Chains A and B, each alone.
Chain A
Amino acid sequence: MDVDTRNMTPTNLVDKIVVPGDVVLDLTKMENQTIKLGSGLRQDCDCVSVMQAGKLRLSKPNKYWVESSQKRYVPSLEDTVLGIVVEHRSDNFLVDIKAPNLAFLPVLAFEGGTRRNIPKFETGTLIYARVVKANGIMNPELSCTDASGKAAEFGQLKNGYMFETSTGLARMLLSSPTCPVLEALGKKISFETAVGLNGRVWVNASSPDDVILVSNAITRSEFLSGTQQRIMAEKLLERLEKS
């Protein structure tokens, strides 16, 4: 039986659960290759080992990372997050994004932001923002504009209801094609959501019943498969119609 060596990956742990300490790649056996290591992996002299428990993923041709889910958030560049304003300093807002440090949101980082029209965010305001600077050492920095300077849905989120989830559920809600639970709910209820990769979800709908139903459905869908999510959502919607 001939083994097709072109498709053999250097490791047989892709898409499997790995724990810290597992050796994923032996670099002495792979010469003249460029490998990109994402989060959760580190290079230990001649081998690549796992730092964080989760599922090992490979994006062909050469990008490896570990997908894990926690309640804490580690800021990374270009993530969209939901933050809560904690304090207003002279040149930036201090925002809590469930990270080890508070994040800075410059007062000018808004579309058309000048010293004259600084937004007045009180303590407790919910903000949808984008991470523009994140290294492990300094406080992360946010921005309420996209790369071209436009507002693009960033900014304060008014009304609605915000609840916390794990980072894994937040990623699942943002996956494409649309997450099954959101699709099933969207068929019967009109609502809007903002999902922060730091494990915060904001839901807004016309009536409080709808908001509660959507929030509960999302929270319950974390460990269900696609079909199970659809069934669960439909059961909840039936209850709403009966009452």
Chain B
Amino acid sequence: MVGMVIEIESMGEEGDDVVTPGEFLGEATEFIAGKGAYVSPNGRSVRACLTGRRKITAPPPGSDDNRSTIEIVGHKAHGAVPQPGSIVIARVTKVMARNASADIMCVDSKAVKEKFSGIIRQQDVRATEIDKVDMYQSFRPGDIVRALVLSLGDARAYYLSTAKNELGVVSAQSISGGTMVPISWTEMQCPLTGQIEQRKVAKVD
């Protein structure tokens, strides 16, 4: 069904031209598909799957395979994208009865270029006594949390989890405006007023 238009591209060009997804880059016998490229289903051609410029890297010396690697280098750099299993830093935006929403800001210590939404459900806040979790005593809007991406979730948001010792609130402001200091895994204290507030605190080494 897909039109197999084989365009004769001159090989070995360090492209100044932009290639688009689906465009033929080279034969699979001569090139390895790198980042941004893939081997087409019939196994014979290497095609692009991103928009960008073509980049050919010579094979590393001493390897058996003497094919060059074709990569697509974006004319705008792509930021990090959360994947299941990656640790993210997010800012809590809304706390509701059964879940809390957060905006993902960094993925594995690299900042994201566009906004991703995450949801921390009540059962994913901590590992023990998950049906007695009070969302208001775990997070507040504005808290910075370290979380684990559980899955890609639904169309609206990733599913995040803080159900480990090293996950949870890493930084929070008190009602009086001071940055709070953690004193246990459930409490943080404001240095200005001495008031103690409840959070699900991350154990930071």
Taking Cβ atoms with an 8 Å cutoff, the residues of A that contact B are 42-45, 104, 135, 137-139, 141
Contacts and interface: CB of A to CB of B under 8 A. Distances in A.
Given A138-B95, A138-B97, A43 B136 contact: no
A42 B176 contact: yes
A45 B192 CA distance: 5
Given A42-B176, A43-B176, A44-B176, A137 B95 contact: yes
Contact of A138 (B96, B175, B176): B96
A222 B70 CA distance: 81
B140 interface: yes
Interface residues of B, number: 12
A45 B193 contact: yes
B136 A137 contact: yes
Nearest to B136: A135
Contact of A43 (B96, B140, B141, B193): B193
Given A45-B193, A104-B97, A138-B135, 7 more contacts: A43-B176, A43-B193, A45-B176, A45-B192, A137-B136, A137-B140, A138-B96
Contacts of B97: 104, 138-139, 141
Interface in B170-205: 175-176, 192-193, 195
Interface of B: 95-97, 135-136, 140-141, 175-176, 192-193, 195
A139 B176 CA distance: 22
21 contacts: A42-B175, A42-B176, A43-B176, A43-B193, A43-B195, A44-B176, A44-B193, A45-B176, A45-B193, A104-B97, A137-B95, A137-B136, A137-B140, A137-B141, A138-B95, A138-B96, A138-B97, A138-B135, A138-B136, A139-B96, A139-B97
A135 B195 CA distance: 17
B41 to A, nearest CB: 45
A95 to B, nearest CB: 15
A141 B134 CA distance: 14
Contacts of A137: 95, 136, 140-141
Contacts of A43: 176, 193, 195
A20 B92 CA distance: 30
Nearest to A141: B97
A214 B106 CA distance: 62
Contacts of B176: 42-45
Nearest to A45: B192
A62 B100 CA distance: 36
A138 B176 CA distance: 19
A42 B141 CA distance: 20
A31 B121 CA distance: 43
B56 to A, nearest CB: 54
Interface hub of A104, A135, A137, A139 (most chain B Cβ within 10 A): A137
Interface hub of A42, A43, A141 (most chain B Cβ within 10 A): A43
Nearest to B178: A45
A23 to B, nearest CB: 15
A42 B176 CA distance: 8
Nearest to B139: A137
Contacts of A141: 97
Contacts of A104: 97
A45 B178 CA distance: 10
A241 to B, nearest CB: 54
Contacts of A44: 176, 193
B119 to A, nearest CB: 15
A202 B112 CA distance: 54
Nearest to B175: A42
Nearest to A44: B176
Nearest to B192: A45
A135 B135 CA distance: 11
Contacts of B135: 138
A137 B143 CA distance: 13
A141 B195 CA distance: 26
Nearest to A92: B97
A130 B136 CA distance: 20
